[in-house]
Amino acid sequence: MPRLAFANSFWDGYDSLEKPIRAGVRKAMAKFQALTVAELNADKGLHLESVEQARDPRMRTIRITDFWRGVVLAPDDGSDVFLLVNVLPHDDAYTWATKRLYSANTATRALEVRNAVALDELTPLYEEAARTAPELLFAKVSDGTLRELGIDHQVLRAVRSIADKVQLEAFATLLPEDQLEVLQYLAEGFSPEEVYRDVVAVRRPADAPAEPVEDLATVIANSTARIRLVTGPQDLEEMLEQPFAAWRVFLHPSQRRVAYRTSYGGPVQVTGGPGTGKTVAALHRVKHLLGRDDGSRVLLTTFTNALAAGLRENLALLLDSDQDLLKRVDITTVDAYASSVVRGHDAGAPQPVGDREQRQLWGNVVKRLALPFGEQFLAQEYRHVVLGQNLRDLDSYLAASRRGRGTALGPWRRKLVWEAIELFERLLRERGETTHLGVCARAADLLREHGPAYRHVVVDEAQDLHPAQWRVLRAAVAAGPDDLLLTGDPHQRIYDSRVTLGSLGVQTTGRSFRLRVNYRSTEEILAWSARLLAPVTVEAMDGEGNDSLAGYRSLLHGRRPETVGCASQQEEVSALAEQVREWIADGVAPAEIGVCARFNLTLDKAADHLKAAGIPVVRVKGQIPPGADGVQLATMHAMKGLEFRAVAVIGVSASVVPFAREITPAEVDPLQHEADMLRERCLLFVACTRAREALRVSWSGEASAFIPVTAGA
Ligand SMILES: Nc1ncnc2c1ncn2[C@@H]1O[C@H](COP(=O)(O)OP(=O)(O)OP(=O)(O)O)[C@@H](O)[C@H]1O
């Protein structure tokens, strides 16, 4: 009996096929599981026929309905896997099939597809232009090196005609996938050795023979990043029934390498720019850890309740709602976990108060003690130095390093600060209250005393955690193999936390990975957003050195983001309504549109205006309400964890972003001032990078200083 596999190109359009066509696909595919090869060839309904003048002689089409055909790659080497590569209207299917050529990459050994006809047509034109180009993109890389990296004869000819990155992108949809990625890495300035390590070695099977094996079944088995083999009738049924989520099946090799490594000696760090699939990698790691079948429990944490709800939903999807496995995972925020630990020991433990109450208390402290410090300064000193280093008495505070704080404090002034801190803590105690970080400190003590509760902890959005929260996680799991895996992006730090992970017992040296391919946004959105951060340096996630956005790229292309300055807020919301209407007219569903602002107040105005224009809206506070159908309005903070086909970021005016109240004056503390400014910049970056296809940034009056001046509108 033949076997059946699906290429990712098939899934790209499957979800948008109409019901009868999908039913046709199911019926046709079922035949591949029920009939022998000879019977398949003879089946009248399926009508498996070769494609005349196809560049790939293995190309076949099959009948799906009267007007729709499936395109199938049929083995001609005695192997038995048939690969469904596309489903298209009749004529398009033939045009598509004629031009495509499938081949095994000589380096990665995986199956790739190219548009061989277009490549042959375009290359001579580029060669002509290349003759007068001052420089060629790959001039410094020898033919031998390119061949070792898997570049074959036809692609090599095209490569030698490429003058710059723009031309490479123009070839992108024509080139075989692995070869394209090799070229993109080289174009970003990575050395051939790095490219071999990050692109070739991660795909190439460990036991690959010296000479490539060409039989289709073997090559397909080497292509897990793009091809899924069907394991049986039930598997087929499930695959075609559920809405298809590519991330569940087709991991990028760099994601797979991180998620499915059998075991790590200790903590692992996974960083990457926005939309590079860090959360996806974290979820697959949890699946891998649960697959060990040793009953061990996993704690999966993230930063907010809304993000935790998203993780819960997606993990259930990844694990096919297997309750036995899901029961072994606790998904929560660090604060909620810490609180459960503390309450488990003492049901009447003090309740944490919010930021506003804390500010009021600091105000009280300053008044009562008549100190030469402001409440903002004291609150920050408490957060970054005292809680950051877990200082419990005056002597430790007197001896502590105040790295990262921008003002010097001699012993006399430190004593005064300590007095204020003692009073603050006493006032809280008297009210039977504490802070969230206070709960964390208590939870870490209890966990250290009573022993860890988990074998594995997986941390998403790790960039935003405070040292007190890290102490909870460190104490929740015994140090050892596969204890901690953390994913995050320091460019998306939107809460005021600074850590040096090594000093907290989370040493990831030698176990750090980086994801570089953005699956969410177009290259145009990514490049524009990256310019928001261009003027600043961003500290690495582990607190050692700096991080950079260099080398990130997207697989998608689209229109450049639009920037719009308006004379008044009224004009801005009117223009917004106009834009939203246009997106909807272009086929974007209201729920696929996100509108985002720094303040709720701005969103209120936008909501009123959109509603008056007859556009349905949903306010997102925390989680998106189930079944919500309308344009989604969220603050920049609430945008984390969301993504939309189209995003409008509004109210990005000079007086709003950065938000002056959140910025410590440079005279109070110059370093804190810089940190606050960076946080506001990152917040805008996060908001903009939630957009998949379209991004529009607007303001009224003067534009925010963060908007790149020369950014093409
Ligand atoms: N291998 C994959 N194949 C297809 N889609 C993917 C893949 N990996 C991730 N995605 C999709 O890309 C988008 C971003 O993924 P994810 O949220 O995991 O990225 P992230 O790095 O955690 O993003 P951010 O840091 O911006 O929150 C999601 O829509 C996800 O489904």
Quick: pLDDT tens for 303-347. 899 899 999 999 999 998 999 999 999 999 999 999 999 999 998
Q: If you count DSSP H runs as helices and E runs as strands, how many of each does the chain have, helices first?
A: 28, 26
Ligand 1 centre distance from Cα of residue 288 (Å): 18
Ligand 1, atom 14: closest residue by C-alpha: 275
Residue 268 confidence (pLDDT): 97
488 lines ligand 1 (CB under 6 A): no
pTM score of the predicted model = 0.91
Ligand 1 centre distance from Cα of residue 339 (Å): 30
pLDDT digits 0-9 by tens, 267-285: 999 999 999 999 999 999 9
Ligand 1 centre distance from Cα of residue 580 (Å): 25
Ligand 1, atom 18: closest residue by C-alpha: 277
pLDDT digits 0-9 by tens, 543-588: 888 988 888 888 888 999 999 999 999 999 999 999 999 999 999 9
pLDDT digits 0-9 by tens, 356-407: 899 999 999 999 998 888 898 999 999 999 999 999 999 999 999 998 888 8
Ligand 1, atom 1: closest residue by C-alpha: 251
Closest-lying ligand 1 atom to the alpha carbon of residue 251: 1
d(CA 2, CA 36): 6
Cα 670 to Cα 64, 554, 675, distances in angstroms: 67, 36, 9
469 lines ligand 1 (CB under 6 A): no
Mean pLDDT of the chain: 93
Q: At 246, is the pLDDT very low, low, confident or very high (cuts 50, 70, 90)?
A: confident
Q: Tokens at residue 662, please?
A: 């959140």
Phi, psi of 540 (to 5 degrees): -60, 160
Once rounded to an integer, what is the mean pLDDT over residues 217-223? 94
424 lines ligand 1 (CB under 6 A): no
Residue 5 confidence (pLDDT): 95
Once rounded to an integer, what is the mean pLDDT over residues 133-138? 94
Name the 3-class secondary structure at 199: helix
Of all residues in the chain, the percent with pLDDT exceeding 70 is 99
Ligand 1, atom 8: closest residue by C-alpha: 277
Once rounded to an integer, what is the mean pLDDT over residues 136-162? 96
- Cis status, amide bond into 658, omega within 30 of 0: yes
Residue 170 confidence (pLDDT): 87
643 lines ligand 1 (CB under 6 A): yes
Residue 624 confidence (pLDDT): 67
Which residues define the annotated binding site for ATP? 272-279
| Model-level ipTM above the cut of 0.90 | yes
Ligand 1 centre distance from Cα of residue 280 (Å): 6
Residue 713 confidence (pLDDT): 41
Ligand 1 centre distance from Cα of residue 276 (Å): 5
Residue 234 confidence (pLDDT): 87
Cα 179 to Cα 104, 163, 223, 251, distances in angstroms: 11, 17, 14, 17
Residue 237 confidence (pLDDT): 86
Q: At 711, is the pLDDT very low, low, confident or very high (cuts 50, 70, 90)?
A: very low
Q: From the centroid of its chain, how far is CA 6?
A: 25
Cβ(375)–Cβ(664) under 8 Å?
no
Residue 500 confidence (pLDDT): 87
Closest-lying ligand 1 atom to the alpha carbon of residue 280: 18
Cβ(431)–Cβ(360) under 8 Å?
no
d(CA 600, CA 405): 31
Cβ(385)–Cβ(405) under 8 Å?
yes
Q: From the centroid of its chain, how far is CA 336?
A: 24
